[in-house]
Amino acid sequence: MTLASTATTGAPSGQRPQLVIDKVFKQFGVGPGAVTAVDHVSFDVKPGEFVSVIGPSGCGKSTLFNIIGGLLDEYEGDVLIERERIAGPHKAVGMVFQEESTFPWRNVIDNVAFPLELQGVNKSERLDRAHHFIDLVGLKGFERLMPSALSGGMRQRVSIARTLVSQPQILLMDEPFAALDEQTRLLLGDKITQIQQDLNQTTLLITHNLTEAVQLSDRIVVMTYRPGKVKRIVDIDLPRPRSSDVVSSDAFGHYVAEIWADLREEASRGMADSESARRGGSRG
Amino acid sequence: MASPSFSQSRAFPILLGASTFIGAFVALEVLLRYGVVNKYVVPLPSQVLMSLERIVVEENIVGRMRDTAWEMFVSCIAVIVLGVPMGALLYRWQPLRRALLDWVAALAAAPLVLAFPLFLVIFGRSATTVIVMSVITGLAPIVIKTTEGLLGVRSVLINVGRSLKMTDAQMLRMILLPAALPVIFSGIRLSWTFVLISVVGIEFLINLGGLGQLINDLAERYDLPGTYGAIGFVILVSVIFFMLLERVESWLRPAR
Ligand SMILES: Nc1ncnc2c1ncn2[C@@H]1O[C@H](COP(=O)(O)OP(=O)(O)OP(=O)(O)O)[C@@H](O)[C@H]1O
Ligand SMILES: [Mg+2]
């Protein structure tokens, strides 16, 4: 590999960041019932870098995802793409959502080809490119089925293919693998890293899965449980090109243990919180 | 011997439907002949059947069916053409929705037919009166269901569209309407029911034109078998309309 020297440490560290999240703050509601979902979160992502944001359920990850994607307007702080503050969804960004988001009235191939249809790509090229990404997410042979005939994990893979098909420069994904079993998750992770490396795609992955984050990322942003702040940013110095085999290495285990220590603290705070809320609820 | 899968076959529902119909027909005939049901109120089914030839030959049933079907067709198309955009407008503009949605619901329940003298004054004793009154009668369900369907579209689907930077028009055509289509169709079905009843009802009431007037005439002549025969033709027309609607629906929404 010609880029071996830079590839071993992930993205070249001297580069100007492509995506900057600067003191982003978001509160839902007002007064005593207000929930601070994202509390002055700052980090940046360099071109071609793969960054994961990890944190316990309810810590504000999806809120942050929606802000970066330009879907939520009312927040404090700045999100910059190529040094410009975003105003609404940015054309360089492709998003994969946490919830099921296939179009139930389109079959698999028409779902995946949808963004190309919007771009006015002609039909034969559209179908060619859609086929390529359907194959990549392991759904070859299912092209003509409607989403209702697929499993939850298969539908999620359709949405991933639909976002990848337009080859966005910046890829935002909110727990895209949550509905998948561990094996499919690892293999699909390989495919995603491969495309990401081939296209030098800047990727921000939201997840609550620790092994997935370490397997895929150059850096991991660990968030605290409410209010969602950045607890720590960990560089993952595992060699690239990387495959799912990396999960059996010592270095991998070391990173997982290190981040788990941070995460456990936050997750147990989250659990205690919801338990006391439940007790409070049943008493009142 | 019927095979076990016969009840799954395509012919089964048709045969079951037809035999139920014939069974009811025969049962009624028997009840009437034995005097359990009064013959002066309900005519014998066999007489109704025999009256068909008479009303076809003497009462110009084909022409009347054409008139009625035409009024129904225009009204049915008009409720969709007017109702869906009105529903979309109520969806899009929240103040309007808050102001009007309850009134639209009230419209659905209002006995508009009582206002027929007003429409007679405005449009005369004409097909226009029948169509205008039927459209107003049938409009509310489509408007309400369109608004409801659009409001019910999952926000993640809208977010997919926004993230792809779709224009408002693309969003409406490619995401909102297809997603809301099943609910909109339930509104269309309700509206069409109102429209079909209303067309015949108003023809009857103002004694104009198609099948409604024929029923009125025959009833006034105390030709009971003929009256029921004519009602049969009304049902036939309605069945044709709903069969067409089902075709259109299955063409617009592939199996989900
Ligand atoms: N539209 C909203 N209105 C009010 N509160 C909201 C809204 N969206 C999110 N919240 C609150 O903000 C907090 C963070 O929610 P968010 O969906 O961002 O969490 P998350 O980290 O994505 O969780 P998960 O891992 O379970 O998906 C939660 O307490 C949630 O109740
Ligand atoms: Mg989330």
- In terms of domains, do A155 and A205 share one? no
**B170 pLDDT more than 90:** yes
Q: How many CB pairs below 8 A link A and B? A: 56
Instruction: State the distance from the centre of ligand 1 to the C-alpha of A72, rounded, in angstroms.
Output: 13
Range of the domain at B80: 50-252
Domain boundary among A167, A182, A216: A167
- When CB atoms are compared, the residue of A69, A89, A101 closest to B157 is A101
ipTM surpassing 0.85: yes
| Per-residue confidence band for A284, with pLDDT thresholds at 50, 70 and 90 | very low
Residues A159 and A29 in one domain: no
Q: Is the pLDDT of residue A64 over 90?
A: yes
Q: Please compute the mean of the pLDDT values over residues A211-221 and round it to a whole number.
A: 92
Number of structural domains chain B divides into: 1
Q: Which of B228, B182, B238 lies closest to B68 in space, CA to CA? A: B238
Model pLDDT, residue A14: 63
Considering every ligand atom shown, identify the ligand nearest to the alpha carbon of residue A97 and give its number.
Answer: 2
Residues A140 and A87 in one domain: no
Question: Which residues have any ligand 1 atom within 6 Å of their CB?
Answer: A 28, 35, 37, 57-63, 98, 208
> pLDDT per residue over B67-113, tens digit each?
888 999 999 999 999 999 999 999 998 888 888 888 888 887 778 87
CB A231 within 8 A of CB A224: yes
Q: How many CA atoms lie within 13 A of B237 on its CB side?
A: 29
Asked if residue B25 belongs to a domain, the reply is: no
pLDDT score at A123: 94
User: What CATH number is given to the structural domain containing A175?
Assistant: 3.40.50.300
Question: Does residue A101 carry a pLDDT above 70?
Answer: yes
pLDDT band at A31 (very low <50, low <70, confident <90, very high): confident
Cα A81 from Cα B10, distance rounded (Å): 59
Beta carbons of A53 and A242 less than 8 angstroms apart: no
d(CA A92, CA A235): 25
Dmax over CA atoms of chain A, in Å, equals 65
pLDDT of A242 strictly over 60: yes
Structure tokens at B90: 């109520």
B169 and A CB contact within 8 Å: no
Q: Does any domain span residue A25? A: yes
The model's pTM is 0.84
Q: Are residues A160 and A173 in the same domain?
A: no
The single residue listed with the structure tokens 């090109």 is A241
Compute the average pLDDT of residues A253-282.
79
Q: Which of B159, B166, B254 sits opposite A97 (nearest CB)?
A: B159
User: Using CA positions, which residue lies closest to atom 1 of ligand 1?
Assistant: A28
Per-residue b/e over B182-219, b at no fewer than 16 CB within 10 Å?
bbbbebbbbbbebbbbbbbbbbbbbebbbbbbbbbbbe
**What average pLDDT does chain A have?**
87
Q: Which ligand is nearest to the CA of A68?
A: 1
Range of the domain at A139: 100-167
Q: In chain A, which residues touch B (CB < 8 A)?
A: 66, 69-71, 88-89, 91, 93-95, 97, 99-101, 103-105, 107, 114-115, 118, 146-148
Q: Least CA distance to A97: which residue of chain B?
A: B156
Domain assignment present for A254 = no
Residue A278 lies in a domain: no
Average pLDDT over residues A260-281: 78
CB B203 within 8 A of CB B211: yes
Question: Which residues in chain A have their CB less than 8 angstroms from residue B184's CB?
Answer: none
Domain boundary among A167, A183, A217: A167
- Please report whether residue A178 resides in a domain: yes
Biggest alpha carbon distance in chain B? 74
